[in-house]
Amino acid sequence: MEILWLDQDDVKFLLDMPSALEAVEMAFAQHGRNKVQMPPKSYLYFTEHNGDLRTMPAFLEEEDVAGVKVVNVHPENRKVGLPTVMATVILNSTSTGAPLAIMDGTYLTDIRTGAAGGVAARYLARANSSVVGMVGAGNQARTQLEALSNVFDLEQVYVFDLDTSRAEKFKEGMESVACCDITVVDSIQKACDVDILVTTTPSRKPIIKAQWLPEGLHINAIGADARGKEELDPSILQQARVVVDDIAQATHSGEVNVPLSEGYIRQEDVFAQLGQIVAGLHVGRESDAQITVFDSTGLAIQDIVTANLVYKKAKNKGMGSKAKLF
Is residue 300 part of an annotated ligand binding site? no
- Compute the distance between CA of residue 301 and CA of residue 275 in angstroms, rounded to an integer: 11
Backbone φ and ψ for 217, nearest 5 degrees, come out as -70, 145
Is residue 33 part of an annotated ligand binding site? no
Q: Which of 69, 79, 312, 317 is catalytic?
A: 69
Is residue 140 part of an annotated ligand binding site? yes
Is residue 296 part of an annotated ligand binding site? yes
Planar angle of CA 221, 226, 231, nearest 5 degrees: 35
Catalytic residue status for 312? no
Residues 6 or more apart from 14 whose CB is under 8 A from it?
6, 309, 310, 313, 314, 317, 319
Is residue 34 part of an annotated ligand binding site? no
Residue 115: burial class (beta carbons within 10 Å; 0-12, 13-18, 19+)? buried
Is residue 290 part of an annotated ligand binding site? no
Is residue 78 part of an annotated ligand binding site? no
Is residue 223 part of an annotated ligand binding site? yes
Half-sphere exposure of 275 (CA within 13 A, CB side): 20
DSSP string covering 118-187: HHHHHHHS-TT--EEEEE--SHHHHHHHHHHHHHS---EEEEE-SSHHHHHHHHHHHHHHHTSEEEE-SS
Annotated binding site for NAD(+): 112, 139-140, 223-225, 229, 296
Annotated binding site: 112, 139-140, 223-225, 229, 296
Catalytic residues: 69
